[in-house]
Each structure stands twice: as structure tokens, then as C-alpha cells.
Structure 1
Amino acid sequence: MDSTYDRKAEVKAFDDSKVGVKGLVESGVTKIPRMFHSGKLDTIQTLATDSKLSVPIIDLKDMHYNTALHAELISKIRSACHEWGFFQVINHGIPISVLGEMIHGIRRFHEQDSKVRKEFYTRDLKKKVLYYSNISLLNSDQPVNWRDTFGFAVAPDPPKPEEIPSVCRDIAIEYSKKIRDLGFRILELLSEALGLNPSYLKELNCGEGLFILGNYYPTCPEPELTMGATKHTDGNFVTLLLQDQLGGLQVLHQNQWVNVPPVHGALVVNIGDLLQLITNDMFVSVYHRVLSNKSSPRISTSRK
């Protein structure tokens, strides 16, 4: 232990800079600050991508048409939610062009000049548009994640269009409408997988609150020392995640870390703690994490 180390001062200086982890990279750091150190990482346990264990990929193209195919779809979703808590969906109805432009929009925000970025930096959770690094930074002793986040409310009380940064405004508005509609369709499928009326979860208001987060994981000079996102579960009902093609997301399954490889045009669906609670563990909310890397920035967008 280093008795001279002042974590509070290091955290305060980082937060006062208002430019996040990206600011550290822009300053040319070759050693990450101590507050990011995660201790001994168990990445050695990670399963290879060619493992027989893989997160289910579910095709939604027939979800409202053929009765037999629809029943098979519901069965696959039920199994994925119970055994994995995670699955990927393809043919979900959101154009690949929209997904790609949303990734680019989040990148544009995080990679714009730091003087512009810092104008949005805040820890006021009452604001409808937020830019910050690590939401619990100031009141936690846990290792800090190598990640910055831009987010905005969609429902029930969205910001005015002019409040969303111009660099990603148009695509953020378009994507938020489409991902909200898809979220309601996913809730219908989850309701059916529980043996309930398709409208059940929606009528419980499980989809009324909606926040979109654009996460940016900068290149890390020492990825063996820190995580992009440490092991955690999501506290909400359900998350829809759009990830770029870099990879790094992992799910804890059967006590082993399993990669969730990016699938072109796919969205990741994962069950949150609240949905596990109200389904009496029929659906499970599982631990997941994101590795840091030194090759290139990772970008993801989640609907929570």
C-alpha cells in the first residue's frame, strides 16, 4: 500500500477536467492512472470464440406470420432468457444503415474537440442530456472503468431536439424512435415466452422509461490493468445493445466468460434484474463485462 496515494484528489482532478478518459488518451498518457487499476484480471479464463458455447442468435423475420415458426421463435427466446439471459436478434426491422450511422454519430460526439465535449459534461442526473465518465465516480471506491458515456432521455420526458448535440442530433432522434418501437416488440415476445398475453409486460409499464447511452471505450495503453466495464448486471427490465465490430463484450455462463462476437446488423438483448425479479427467476439477469484494448476505440449504444 502506498500511504502517499490520494485517490480522492486523483478522482477530483480527473472529473474537473471534464474531458473523460478520452481526454487522458488525447494528453498522451502511456500509464493509466491508479484509480483505473482493476487488480488481477481473470481474462485468462475467457473462452475462445470458436467454443461450442455461444450466445443464441435469433431471427425475428417470421415473428408475426407463420404460426409454427412463431411458436418455434417463442421457444428459442424462452430458452435463451432462461439459460443465458442474453441473445442476439437479426432481421429486427431497423435498417443496417441506421445502425451504422448511430455508431458513427456516437463516435463523432466523443471524438469532437474536447472544448466542445466538455460543455456537455455533467453529473446532474436531472438533465435530459448527459456526458460523463463513470456515473458513480465520486461516491465509489471501486476501480474506474475505462469508458466515457453520452446519454439522453427518450421517454417519458424527452429533451427538445435542440438540446441534443448537433453532431449526432438527426441520427439520435431517428434511432431512438426505431429502437423504442423494437423495444415494445421485444416486450411482446418476452411476454409470450412467459406464457402470457403479448401486451402483458407493456401494460406493466416495463417499457415506459427509456434512456439511450452511447458508450465510448478509448484505446488503452495498459489493457491488462483495467476494464472497459467491470463485472455487473443491469438493474432495469431489458437492455437492447448495438455494438460496433470490435468486440470485447463477454457474458458469464456456466462460470466461464463467453465472448459475444459482433454480428453485422444484429442487436444484443439482455435481461435485467427487474425482469428476473418479476418472472421469479424464469428469466435470468447475468453478469457481463467489457474488456479494454489498445488497438482501437470501441463504441456501443444501449437502450435501457
Structure 2
Amino acid sequence: MIERVPLLVLLLSLAACSTSEALRPHIDRDPASLLKTNGYRIEVDVSEARLVQGDILVNGQKMLDQSRSSTPMVQASGAGNSMGASAAGVMIGGILVSQLNKTRVESDARKEAEQLVAPLRLATAGTGLDQWFEEQLRAELASGLLGQVVQNSPYTVRFEPQAELGHALDSIRLITEVTVTFGHEVLYKGRIEVLDAADWKPESTATIGLNPWLADQGQPYKNALQAGISETARVLALDLESHHFANNPGVEQTLRYTLGTGRFVERGRLLSDDGQRALFMGLRGWLKSVPIQTATR
């Protein structure tokens, strides 16, 4: 006999395992004033592998086909508790198969993304891309945008960046998770995405592929990263000073923007538009800076 309560707990546990925990933006006290008054230390958790990634594009049709071909065939028999146990078995089997299918499709997509950026990784290998990134970030912050960098300050600003090349090879996305701490106390936690299109015509990637990014040991890619670093620092300063834009409630709307040959639609709040870039907050509270090609509705 299978008891109902433990079975329910098992089902909920399986469902929970199918989703990863996303970063939740958080801000406490007034970190902007604290950093400017007391200074801060910088920590950067970065690696060459995370700075050269491909956009993992999950094919919905493949997911559907995989699900159809591997649906568990379980026959329920008996009565009473036996019937309940059999039905529960089908549910558990369905959840397990669904998660397995999702993992397989995502694994295939990840392999495709790895193959996509393999030449770029080869071009930047041995150039110390991770060290270069940290140096550029520290140089950007040395301007005093967040306050003065003080090695013995009790406040720490930690950066965890990663970068992705768009699937069409005509755009780049710099994603940075930032945490501000005082000892073990977290004063701020947020995620900033900076998107940029390549300098060349979007349709050119159809014929020239990855080649423009590879020139001079990946210098065009580093130039795009440099621009992303500057914009990330600017957006972070705005986020800290505004307490995650607490006084800018905005109106949730459908945001549309283009990047290279790609067109994107998502829900969020438009926070600013300075004529060059648009900054908006997605439904998860993440901040995204995109070129001014954005249109809203």
C-alpha cells in the first residue's frame, strides 16, 4: 500500500527538481551611499570558458518529438489502493520521462552551442581573456562610479560574468550577477544583461560566419565585451542608487526589440530610454540593456 501523503511529497519533489532556482534580485539599506562613504573591495569570479559561450537554443519541436516517442506505457490494474498506486506510478513515470527528455534536448542544444563557438575559443585561447576582463572591469570601476576601491573595506562587490555569442553569430550578450556584501550580510543582489549587435551587417553572417569575430585573436569580440563592461557598470550604479528603481514603478508592457537578425518579444517595464539604449526590467526583476532599436507597446 502506498500512502497518499508521502506519494504527494514525492511528486512535488520530482516536479521541483525539474526547474533550477533563478536569481532573485534583492536590495537592503542604502548600498550606494555605503559604498561611496566607505569604499569597497572587488571580487571577480570569471573564466575563459564562461566568457566564450554559445547561445543555447532549445528546439521546441525536438522536445515534443522526444516526448511523443518516449511516453511511458503503463497499464493500471486492480482496484482500490492498487488502482491509486498504478495511477501514481504513471504520474511519476511521466514526470521522470519528461525531465529526461528535457535533459536530452538541452544537452544536444548545449553541444551545438559549444561547436558554434569552438573556433572563437581557439582564437582567444592563451590570450588571458579572463584576466583581461577583470582588468577592464577594475579599470572601469576605478573612475569612482560606485565609490572608491579600498582593499581593506568591509564592503565587497562580487561580479560573476558570462558572455554568449548569439546563435546567428551577429550579436553578443554579457550577463553579470552582482552581489554587494557587508561581511556575511547581503545588501544587494542583481542580474544585469547587456546586449549588443555586431558592427557588421546582420545578413553578412550567413556567408562569412564566425570569421569577423576571430580577427586579431578575437579582438572584435573583446571590443564588444569592453562595451558591455562599461554599460554593466553604468546600469549597476543606477540600480544601486535607485534601490532597484523603487520609485519608478512603470507599467508592465510588451517590449519588442531587434538584435542583428533576431527579433525578440517579452514582458517587462521600460525604465529609461536615453536615445542610445533602452533599459528595462523583466518579470524576474532582471535588468536588460538593449540598443535603441527597441519598440514598445
Larger helix proportion, structure 1 or 2?
2
Higher relative contact order (CA 8 A, sep 6+): 1
The two structures have a TM-score, normalised by structure 2, of 0.23
Q: Compare CA radii of gyration and give the structure with the larger one.
A: 2
Q: Which has the higher strand share?
A: 2
